[in-house]
Structure 1
Amino acid sequence: MKKPHVLLNTRIQKNDSVKMKYNYGFGDDKKDKEENEKPDDYVRIGQNLQRSYTKFNADRAQRTARRSVYLEVPLHVDFIRINFFGQFAVHDYFGRWYQEFGLEAVEVTNFGTSVLFAVTDNNIDKFNAFLTAVDSVIRNGQDHQGRKYPKLIHYIQDFELLTSEDIIKTDVTADVFILKIADLMVHNRELETLIQSLEDYLNTQGIAYIKNKEIGIIEIYNTEAFNLEDIIDNFDIFLQVTSGRATIIRPNAFNAPDRDYGFEIAAVDNLPLVGVIDSGVDDRTPLAPLIVLDEDLNLTTTSVREDNVDRGRGHGTAVAALVALGGEAVSREYRGILAPHCRLLPIKIIDSDNAAISISRTLELLTIAKQKYPQIKIFTLTINFHQSKKFNEHYSSYAYALDKFSFENDCLIFISTGNNSDAIFRTNEAYDTAYFAEEEANLCSPAESLNNVTVGACSDSLGVGGHIGIANGPEYPTIYSRTGHYQHELLKGRAKVNKTLFKPDLVMAGGDYCYERGWLTDIGEGSMLLLSADPTESFYRLFGTSFATPLAANVAVQIQKHYPNVSASSIKALMLNHCSDKTIDDLIRDKQMLVGHGCLHTERAIYSDSDMINFIVEDTIDNGDLKVIPLNFPKYLVTDDLKKRNRILGVTATISYQFLPIRESQLGYCPVLIAFGFFKNHEGAGIVIKEKDNKSKLKSGPLWSQNSRFKQKPNPFSNTQKLSFVVNVDELLDERGIFKIGVHCFTHPQLRPGEDTAYQKDNRFSIAIAIEETLKKPTGKLYDEMLAINEIENILSADQDLEAEA
């Protein structure tokens, strides 16, 4: 029988907090430092720097020659990218590099081993000292004369000037250019002067643009008066130029109509509202009663009630149907009376197949939507930038903007990985997961977003009958789905690898290619039945991550409907806690980069039952603290004859939290670590004692869901982590039926000075904990017994009655 999840009342059920310290040491800083340093091989170092020095001087001379005297730019900045042998200790060396060489660290990439520095005209003398030191290293490598220079140079593998060619990462014919602004902390006044000079120039030329300082971008609309190379050659404030070109999956042009609309929407009160960021939602379909029309949420010249892409078949309409009606509508082939799970708020950002996206204007619509409809918590976004991400590439401005929005508004945006329509032609028209190792198979921005939920597609089409797609099974990732862009083998040193940091977060049914009459097709029974915006067509068949994504959002909105007051992080934690990849048993290499946490068990994410209870923890924690939360287990587990003593319970727990990202640090993009673990029945003071002295660890395996014990070479942090273990009778006896959940918090040790200020107090987090009997014949007692001995709060909506619903 369906039963509601429960909120653990940690205001009452808690132990005293203590200051956290790792009870197995905080990293061997001396050894770590030695690994960062390279032997004094002066010849090799000199040869490396000789190549860099020669090219740098040539590039610098060329950049100076390309500057226009007619633009009268008030000052200039050189950006120098330095690649280090190991991680650059930003926190320790930010000030020293500036004092010594006039170099201000402005962007940290390649997970801490590459740093982009800025030097202004005012610090040219100090920078010349840097070049002199490099020259001394080169000469020492040639003649071994032992010239003196700052030893900081020894950490440099190579360096280069950031040229216009490095900055411009798109074709110059784009409709919208997105220019990423450097974040200068020390030279902020000089930055403002350059931005004002640029704005004066753009206004004089009549060039349309949007400046968004919060995201750190300027978007410029292409006109005859606009010359991209002139801007980048002369205004030294930009780190990257990309295109706003978007991509959506388009159905086969020869797909035949399926049949008339044959369903109705049931009348249901008090439905949540979901924002569909797409091409509009057509109100000539049966979805009309669910649509909230608001033309303020429109970037196009056509109405939000029209969905005109792909010759009128639409895209947003199919997405909206899936988020409102869920997978059941597809399985029932949209017949009869269908109960909706939400109302629909169209947020229209495109109205053509080859549109461009403005990050600033899209974010403005999201802000308006949240202001006008404060109850909205769930959004879908299935339109990605066209270009896939490079291996280990930094977070995009788009992902940053959405992460910031979700953190500030307690929202979840369900984002597709993007579709790789070329994949099938690169695999001899067969299913071959080896293709996912290619860089072009990587996800498209903003799917790398961490505060939101990234969704890939598995082969399931939700049709009746067996699996039809070309993948090895319905749970396997489809060949068109995209993979996470982290490539750990390319990183320098193992310390930067974080196995809890991956994308996508999960996979949902998206349909697949199949063979019909010996031919491969994308519109056969392996694809998904979708609602068309064209009433003369009604339905069509296709597949894509665009359709997997709203199915995930549908589960989220069902959770919101039942438990309206839980946070966005709790919804995410519940969903990921009930994902599994166990049936995908022959994808060993980088499986999580293909399927994330796996396929979602929908009902378990929404409901508990007599033999499985879901606890939710929602709390805050300060930097440096360890919180301890007791979890009580009922006596019947040790007193009743359960027919076995080992593995009587399974426990799975997932932590999720949202954060305000650090824009210019790939290593510290997630600036705060909140990790958890399960411990014996010890107080906080006992947990932080060295493990060999107190043995607080409950199980074999990692002590914490994620650690940050290395200060010299820290990992990037993940804001989602998961643990699973089994419980034996003897463990319950030994701990008197009480386990302790430990939660600790640290800010990233490699942030620039002052960047950790916002993360010292009240960092919010959620934990979803599923506890289930694993007996051959379950007792039916677990849920009620756990409820009776733990402090819980009711989180059902006021009109909810799950037993009546069941």
Structure 2
Amino acid sequence: MFTINMKKPHVLLNTQVQKNESVTMKYNYGFGDDKNSDEAKKDIERNYISIGQNLQRSYRDFNIDRRQRIIQRNQELAVPLHVDFVRINFWGQFAVNDYFGKWYEQFGLEIIEVTNFGASVLFAVTEHDFCRFDTFLSAVESAIRNAQDHQDRKYPKLIHYIQDFELLTTRDIIKAGNTDDVFILKIADLKVQNQVFDDLKASLVNYLQNQQIEYIINFDVGIVEIYNRAGLDLEEIINNFDVVLQVTSGRSTIIRPDIFNVPNRTYGFEVADAENLPLVGVIDSGIDSDTPLAPLIVQDEELNLTSTSVLEDNVDGGRGHGTAVSALVALGAEAVWREYRGRFTPHCRLLPIKIIDSDSSAISISRVLDLLIRAKDNHPQIKIFTLTINFCQSKKYNEHYSSYAYALDKFAFEHDCLIFISTGNNSDAVLQTNGYDLAYFGNEEANLCSPADSLNNVTVGACADSLRQEGYIGISNGPEYPTMYSRKGHYQYELLKGKAKSNKTLFKPDLIMAGGDYCYGNRGLTDIGEGSMLLLSADHTESFYRLVGTSFATPLAANVAVQIQKHYPSLRSTSIKALMLNNCSDKLVEDLTANKSMLVGHGCVDSSRAIYSDSNTINFIVEDTINNGELKIFPLKFPSYLTTDDLGKKNGVLRVTATICYQFLPIKDSQLGYCPVLVAFGFFRNHEGADILKKEEKVNSRLKSGLKLWSQNCRFKQKPNPFSNTQKLSFVVNVNELIDENNVFKIGVHCLTHPQLRPGEDVFYQKDNMFSIAISIEETLTEKKMTGRLYDEMLAINEVQNILLGDQDLEAEA
């Protein structure tokens, strides 16, 4: 049987009708016993000699640093009071929820920030609690002396969990160079002694005003940004105002300037009517209006941090950057492989949000955030943004989420938006490699740059494809492979203490897109050869140029998203993300390491499949909400022809691929609980919720033996994993499985808050946590056996809602 495979719209599963009764969630395989933890406790208690010896150096250095910090203070500033920040590294994961109160009550130490996925905790002790803190120091001293003379002194056994500790000093806090234009001060936040910190923050603001230091304050994000001017004494601020945890640079970069002209010609293309199209915010260097993109540009000079118009793009010697990015957002990959010739139907209008006007400049997180909020206020229909300007410094392994990522995650959650963020370019790769060498990614310098660590948004890396009509040219193993200049995720779970904190569903980037590749030139590798990407120039005497970069992969991903939005405008941003990631594949990238996902994410997106279903493939979308502790059940029905007709085989007649995505309000000061709520899903046999939760020896609801029961779990209470807000499952369906379940599978979705939040931090997540699931079901028959019936018959037996905009002709558009 041969069928014409017609393009068809995705559909929304009506879960208000097609559902079973919800039940209270519990894991049917225990909660992760603490036997190993108990053994570790016994070992620690027995080995008090090594404990004391280990603490001796910390105790000595701490006292030296504390005396030095007191000497460095300027008494003339009359700061109202002082705070010591003490970082303690524990032997294992610190149980925040259980011990938050105990450590404060016994030692006056209040938890400020949890990093290293729970193994390192930064505590604050104010002058009001110094007496209790002396109890801590005395206990440490007793442990040290016991190791020396074996007198078995008594002290709180909480000390046994400490590997080492240190005072946070000025040199630890300042992570920026003296010549940087903008310093970003990360501000601490106390829950118990909050009035103390309010007084200190007010004192800092008063100092900045008296010194006439230009600053921007955003306590909602937890930062103060100060501008480097004559007379600024950064060390004096950090030495005296004990509210600052870290000082980083606001320096950003976009591309490596390197003029390379393609043969000069006029632009040679035009764009069709742009009415009634989605609007995309391009956070960049402006969009030059003296190009064929002019009809697409929506000018709003309020969205500008520079002294030049948003319609000017002056970086890189006039070549621009935002202009090239905008062309790829609006016209997509088609513009490149057609070499910008002829007439194009655009997919969106363009809103320039101008944040830089030079190749490398300082970025203010607060000002960028203000522009995004203003853009949403002025243009409420906007949902998609691109951001290809990163901070210069790559992230350290397992480093805490950046203030920039936090700000963008919070914005995306509060405004139902999706920002496509580049990983940043590793420009050093062209100088430090002689060819395609995947071992180079083992360097920490190859890690992504902030704010690409954002979880609510989409992080995009680059694969080697340059979209050339003539085929792939480059140094990589193939066009789908990550390029050497692309950056990898900064999680390295091998460095953590214990496997409990690793989470294979938590990785970056989310996906990779074409960004062009290095080629061999006369003097080694070059990024402007035939393997690079053809780009639109803001310089009309040049018209086009060639270059490579994650800056160009990112707008191509955003173009796929905006096409989804154009067809299905009512969808949540998380549904757009889920559709894209669900239709990504990394199967053509075969010979990478075990950390493959840290290089390519979910792989390369198939744009057509992300936008359209067809006769043999149907994409369901689930949009719903769920409460903490709830398990929701949604039946999914399959047509009878799959079990009654001769399909040519019995096994693997279908493939089901599903991805869940949700946004969350992040917890700023907890790396482990940054994503504070878990929404996970699984596919089960045709059982009710109560049976799904029973132990397998009683009622086996697992659909397939090789399929994960849940996409992600939270059964470890004492040593939980960090949560990921994106999870994916894929499996094949056999005929006998459909027969056994009467052609009905159940989708289970459950929700739990993170068990290691500070008291009160889980209140916001108790009810109505929104989530989206994209479910692709496709026939996997031979081409001759494809029935052409799957879409229509799935549509007929399931409760669905049409989400297509108007009377669109998908076949013509496809």
Tell whether the structures are fold-level matches, with TM greater than 0.5: yes
Question: How is 1:379-458 mapped onto 2 (pairs within 5 angstroms)?
Answer: 379-427=385-433, 429-458=434-463
In structure 1, C-alpha distance between the alignment counterparts of 2:289 and 2:724, rounded to whole Å? 41
Query: How far apart in 2 are the matches of 1:258 and 1:183?
Result: 57
Superposed counterparts of 1:543-692, under 5 Å: 543-692=548-697
One-letter code aligned to 2:458: V
One-letter amino acid of the structure 2 residue matched with residue 533 of structure 1:
A
Find the partner of 2:203 among 190, 197, 201.
197
Q: CA separation in 1, counterparts of 2:284 and 2:39? A: 52
The alignment partner of 2:52 has SS state of helix
Query: Is the Cα contact below 8 Å between 1:32 and 1:712 reproduced in 2?
Result: no
In 1, Cα distance between equivalents of 2:171 and 2:582: 45
Tell me the secondary structure at the aligned position of residue 747 of structure 2: strand
Query: Is 1:281 equivalent to 2:287 in the alignment?
Result: yes
Q: Distance in 2 between matches of 1:688 and 1:391?
A: 38
- The corresponding residue for 1:309 is 315
Hey, what's the Cα distance between the residues in 1 that align with 2:593 and 2:812? Answer: 44
Q: Contact (CA 8 Å) 1:277, 1:380: kept in 2 or not?
A: yes
Give ranges in structure 2 of 5+ residues lacking alignment.
1-5
Q: Take 1:380 and 1:450, find their aligned partners in 2: how far apart are those partners? A: 15
Instruction: State the one-letter code of the partner of 2:73.
Output: R
1:764 paired with 2:770, answer yes
Look up the equivalent residue of 2:605 and give its one-letter code: L
Q: How far apart are residue 187 of structure 1 and its match?
A: 1.1
Among residues 795, 798, 809, which one is paired with 1:790 in the alignment?
798
Taking the aligned partners of 1:548 and 1:38, their CA distance within structure 2 comes to 51
Q: 1:561 to 1:327 in 2, by over 3 A?
A: same
Deviations 1:28-48 (A, max 9, x none): 134444446643211211111
1:804 shift after superposition: 5.3
* RMSD between aligned residues: 1.1
Q: 1:327 aligns with which of 328, 333, 341?
A: 333
Alpha carbons 1:36, 1:87 under 8 Å: kept: no
Give, in whole Å, the separation in 1 of the partners of 2:304 and 2:69. Answer: 41
Aligned-residue offset at 1:625: 0.5
Give the alignment partner of residue 163 of structure 1, picking from 169, 179, 183: 169
**Cα distance in 2, alignment partners of residues 165 and 305 from structure 1:** 43
2:546 to 541, 548, 551: 541
Amino acid at match of 1:241: V
- The whole-number CA distance in structure 1 between the counterparts of 2:263 and 2:226 is 41
How big is the shift at 1:259? 2.5
- Per the alignment, residue 108 of structure 1 pairs with 114
- Give the alignment's TM-score, normalised by structure 1: 0.99
Partner of 1:375: 381
1:140–1:35 Cα change, 3 Å? closer
CA distance in 2 between counterparts of 1:519 and 1:694 reads: 63
What displacement does 1:254 show?
4.4
Give the TM-score normalised by the residue count of structure 2.
0.98
Q: Which amino acid aligns with 2:411?
A: F
Quote the Cα distance in structure 2 between the aligned partners of 1:30 and 1:588.
33
Asked if the contact 2:112–2:189 (Cα under 8 Å) also holds between the matched residues in 1, the reply is yes
- Aligned AA for 2:32? G
1:779 to 763, 773, 787: 787
* CA 22–335 in structure 1, closer or farther in 2 if over 3 Å, else same: same
Unaligned stretches of 5+ residues in structure 1: none
Partner of 1:294: 300
For residues 716 and 804 of structure 1, the distance between their equivalents in structure 2, rounded to whole angstroms, comes to 45
Give 1:503 shift.
0.2
Q: Which residue number corresponds to residue 213 of structure 1?
A: 219
- Whether the aligned pair in 2 keeps the contact of 1:258 and 1:540 (CA below 8 Å) is no
Q: Is 1:503 aligned to residue 508 of structure 2?
A: yes
Residue of structure 1 in register with 2:484 after alignment: 479
Secondary structure (helix, strand or coil) at the match of 2:332 reads helix
**Preserved contact between residue 435 and residue 525 of structure 2 (Cα < 8 Å):** no
Residue 718 of structure 1 corresponds to: 724
Find the aligned partners of 1:666 and 1:175 in 2 and give their Cα distance: 28
Residue pair 2:464, 2:483 contacting (<8 A) in 1 also: yes
Contact 1:255 1:523 in 2 (8 A): no
The residue type equivalent to 2:184 in the other structure is I
Q: Answer yes or no: is the 8 Å Cα contact 1:278–1:348 preserved in 2.
A: yes
CA displacement at 1:251 relative to structure 2: 3.9
Matched, 1:89 2:100: no
One-letter amino acid of the counterpart of residue 579, structure 2 = L
> Residue 383 of structure 1 aligns to which amino acid in structure 2?
I
| From 154, 157, 160, the counterpart of 1:151 | 157
Q: Deviations over 1:71-114 (max 9, x none)?
A: 11000000000000000000000000000000000100000000
Q: 3-state DSSP class of the match of 2:751?
A: strand
Name the CA distance, whole Å, in 2 between partners of 1:537 and 1:23: 65
Partner of 1:626, secondary structure, is strand
1:37/1:251 CA distance change after superposition, 3 Å: farther
Question: Which residue, out of 350, 353, 378, partners 1:347?
Answer: 353
The one of 447, 462, 465 equivalent to 2:467 is: 462
Contact 1:36 1:85 (8 Å CA) reproduced: no
- For residues 486-528 of structure 1, what are the alpha-carbon distances to aligned partners after superposition, in whole Å with 9 as ceiling and x for unaligned? 0111000000010000000000000011125685322111000
Instruction: Specify the code of the residue in structure 2 equivalent to 1:536.
Output: T
Moved more, 267-276 or 290-299: 267-276
The answer for the alignment partner of 2:3 in structure 1 is: none
